[in-house]
Amino acid sequence: MARTETIESIRRRYRSRDVDLLLADFLGRPVSYVVAHGEDLVDQSPIDAAMQRRLAGEPLQYIRGKTEFFGREFYIDDRVLIPRPETEVVVETAIARIGRGARVVDIGTGSGCIAVTLALERPDLRVVATDASIAALAVARRNGAKNLVACDVLSAFVRDFDWIVSNPPYVSEAEVAQLAVEVRDYEPRSALTPGPVGTEAIERILEQAGRARVILEIGFGQAQLVRDLAFARHFDVDEVRNDLAGIPRVIVLSRHGWK
């Protein structure tokens, strides 16, 4: 038998914005309804179970099974990295810089948030999405991504693209231990770190990029290192864009003589 409790009583017990969101999800109502209908009785069991997961450190996005990116809702679970606001800068840059009708590949698509958003915002583009993880591609497909290819970087392709976009893993192995528990213990490790240095995935992308221009998300403090890696592989830095915190977050690259 369900154990009922008023909404207000549940909210008082947890005193958290998270419980308001979970109650809203459970009731299929907006948060404003939860706040205004504290006297309503609800089954407390699923809310308690969800909050115990949250208190243990599991990200709210995985518990809810959804997150927002670029104004749209995306399905999310622990097979993929949780989309961050910083990655919206990748999409903004791509929308502004990529010419009409271009062939674009999203490397390491994960949830598909970049590929899906680009396809919706710029239907003139021909967007392909790749990921080495079959599980991640299943999430991307659920989110509406099309033209999905399972491969590491561009290993499955024999021709160039016009543009590459990517939010690659860029955390060094040593830094993983310093991440917040909800990131370190719950998000897929392969989507967080590519190896000891943190730039291994970026290096593979540049080595396989061919003539394509490249838009990459980079980590805190990596701007000069990525500049050096790009120069060594015959790329020019066309632009570096900051995120909302003023941190260099997205770098735009082109082959020498191919702007």
Structure tokens at 213: 């221009």
Beta bridge partners of 150: 131
Q: Which residue has the higher pLDDT, 120 or 158?
A: 120
User: What pLDDT is recorded for position 220?
Assistant: 94
How many residues can be counted in the chain?
259
User: What pLDDT is recorded for position 158?
Assistant: 67
Pick from 153-162, 166-175, 196-205: least confident: 153-162
What average pLDDT does the segment 120-144 reach? 98
User: What pLDDT is recorded for position 257?
Assistant: 64
User: What pLDDT is recorded for position 157?
Assistant: 86
User: What pLDDT is recorded for position 259?
Assistant: 54
pLDDT band for 258, please (50, 70, 90 cuts).
low
Among candidate residues 171, 186, 198, the one with its CA nearest the CA of residue 56? 186
* β 41-43/4-6 pair status: antiparallel
Q: Which residue has the higher pLDDT, 258 or 134?
A: 134
Measured distance CA(114)–CA(130) in Å, rounded? 11
Is residue 156's pLDDT more than 90? no
- Cβ proximity of 163 and 102 under 8 Å: yes
Task: Read off the pLDDT of residues 66-109 as tens digits, 9 standing for 90 and up.
Answer: 999 999 999 999 999 999 999 999 999 999 999 999 999 999 99
Is residue 21's pLDDT more than 70? yes
Q: What average pLDDT does the structure give for the chain?
A: 95
Is residue 171's pLDDT more than 60? yes
pLDDT band for 39, please (50, 70, 90 cuts).
very high
Is residue 149's pLDDT more than 80? yes
**For tokens 């903004």, what's the residue?**
92
Domains and CATH numbers, the chain: 4-56 (no CATH), 77-255 (3.40.50.150)
User: What pLDDT is recorded for position 69?
Assistant: 98
What average pLDDT does the segment 152-160 reach? 84
